[in-house]
Homo-oligomer: A and B are copies of this chain.
């Protein structure tokens, strides 16, 4: 597939020259947009929403047409592939996902089925649909949850604050936990390969929860599974973005995952992240999403801090350190996108 017309994002992922910093925002297709909520109403449930190719394509494209971001991430959920391996769940209003039978034992892990991309054919259709609709104007990002985050959902059976069940399982059944992460890695390799083969220009691996681990445990349990995923996707020659919320403690060895781009939260200064990561890889981030509750002059000041801290080099993709929130003001999100485009023009 030929490069999209706007390939700023892809060039920044590869540390190639850019005229300005590309920007996209985690959870950019989200409830803060009235157009997203209208589509969601048509869908009825969240699951119907992300499984309905037509609606999901429309939702994915909204941030491009309404905000002018430089990349489209497909509208989906990190739990999407799990039904294929036999993990049933539902989204409960105001509570998030709840699993029918969380993983409790070695036997539960052994019972997991082989992942079949045909079970999530709709994800491939969404990627194709986005590319068709935009006429390859702009890159499409596919994504998946990272093994630790997915395992935590499977073991907790829902969201958690302290990951008590996950960590108990990890400490008390170390080999089984590694087998589980490895199985999820295998699923993710197939799932992301399928997305790339369907036309994704880049893929992002979301580790929302690994930041709750000690560096030692991260290195022993989490890193090998993420590394395996990335290793097995390298041959596609598509940028692979590794996002870890709470990455600060892992900065000394995070490069071992061998991603092309590291997406960082706001609890580490971007100058420090640059020192540690660039030019071996690119950096994505790192605005605190909460800044979007502030007035526009503050939003501008905070965006400027990040842009200026990074400096004139390529290799930076502007993004948040975490996702947009449902009650945010869409006009402020648009202001942020416009501002980053304006202030990041290379003056050289």
- List chain A positions with a Cβ less than 8 A from chain B: 162-164, 167-168, 171-172, 211-217, 246, 248-249, 252, 266-269, 272, 286, 288-291, 293-295, 298, 302, 305, 325
Contact = CB atoms under 8 A, between A and B. Distances in A.
A298 B177 CA distance: 15
10 contacts: A162-B325, A167-B294, A168-B294, A171-B298, A211-B267, A216-B269, A248-B249, A248-B268, A249-B268, A249-B269
Copies of this protein in the assembly total 2
A331 to B, nearest CB: 16
Contacts of A267: 211-215, 246, 248-249
B295 A172 contact: yes
A297 to B, nearest CB: 10
A171 B293 CA distance: 8
A215 B298 contact: no
Instruction: Find the residue from A171, A252, A288, A295 having the highest chain B CB count within 10 A.
Output: A171
B293 A167 contact: yes
Contacts of A290: 162-164, 167-168, 171
A326 B168 CA distance: 15
Contacts of A289: 162
A289 B290 CA distance: 29
The 6 closest A-B pairs by CB, nearest first: A171-B294, A248-B248, A167-B290, A168-B293, A249-B267, A214-B266
A64 to B, nearest CB: 27
Contacts of A168: 290, 293-294
B291 A171 contact: yes
Given A162-B325, A167-B293, A214 B298 contact: no
A299 to B, nearest CB: 9
Contacts of A213: 267, 288
Contacts of A252: 272
Contacts of A246: 267
Contacts of A268: 215, 248-249
